[in-house]
Amino acid sequence: MDKKNMYGLVAATSRRRGAAGVALACAVAWLSLTPSAGAQGLPVVTPLAERYPAGSIKSEQAAAAALAQAADDRRVLDTQYVLDQRECYARFLVSACLEAAKDRKREAEKSIKQVEIEANTYRRQAQVDDRDQSLAEQHARDQAESARRVQEQKDRQAATARHLQESDAKRNQVQQRVDQNPDPDTRIREHEARVAQQQADEAARAPEREANAVQRQQRIKDAEQHRQEVERKKQESERERAEKKRSSQP
């Protein structure tokens, strides 16, 4: 029977039977809004929010399982909604039945989204915690490395100072011998000795110069790493804000 004839039948019945006719009309309307058992053939499952109450997601495994079940529940919900729509088109009050089906779907989606938000929030916080721990460990390693380099620099400076002190003492000894012995050959040998000593002094300073060059390169490298870390944090912050914005949308 098409909808026009159905409406006519209900109206005629209502006029003939008074209150009884009104009751019949109400019954028909109720049946039109409620899908039949055949349309509800999918198994009934416990709402996701009951399987994962607020605050129950406390591990990565739980978050992953909750999101996987949420995806499954959404697929089941979409299938059930299609079945409900098909059933509604065979009903008397099609529009009202479709609206009721849409409301049921919307309420079920709220339950799913609630769990999805909590799972994704846990994951984001876990990522932040892991990143902070990694940064703290890297900072500790950098501090230890910096302390080691400082100590090595001090050791090299102390060794250079000792060597220069010894060189000064040797030069003084050579000069004293030159002053005491005016022999030209002796002066030549002493001059050669001074030149050799100066070359030795330069060689002694070479490790310090090399260490200073290494330190300059390390400072440049540290500055670049810091710049990259700041840029990475900025990108992560922007991505987290975008994810939160998407999660807050209905």
Whole-number Å distance between alpha carbons of 203 and 50: 77
Whole-number Å distance between alpha carbons of 231 and 52: 36
Q: What is the residue-level pLDDT of the chain in tens, covering all 250 positions?
A: 444 444 343 344 344 444 333 333 333 343 344 444 334 455 667 889 899 999 999 999 999 999 999 999 999 999 999 999 999 999 888 999 999 999 999 999 999 999 999 999 999 999 999 989 989 999 999 999 889 988 988 898 888 888 888 888 887 877 777 677 666 666 677 777 778 777 877 777 777 777 788 888 888 888 888 888 888 888 888 887 887 777 666 5
Q: By 3-state DSSP, what share of the chain in percent is helix, strand and coil, each rounded to 5?
A: 90, 0, 10
Whole-number Å distance between alpha carbons of 55 and 111: 14
Whole-number Å distance between alpha carbons of 115 and 113: 5
Burial degree of 91 (CB within 10 A; 0-12, 13-18, 19+):
buried
Contacts of 131 (CB under 8 A, 6+ apart): 236
What's the pTM value of the predicted model, to 2 decimals? 0.49
Q: Residue ranges of the alpha helices (H) in the chain?
A: 3-17, 19-33, 48-51, 60-88, 94-180, 184-248
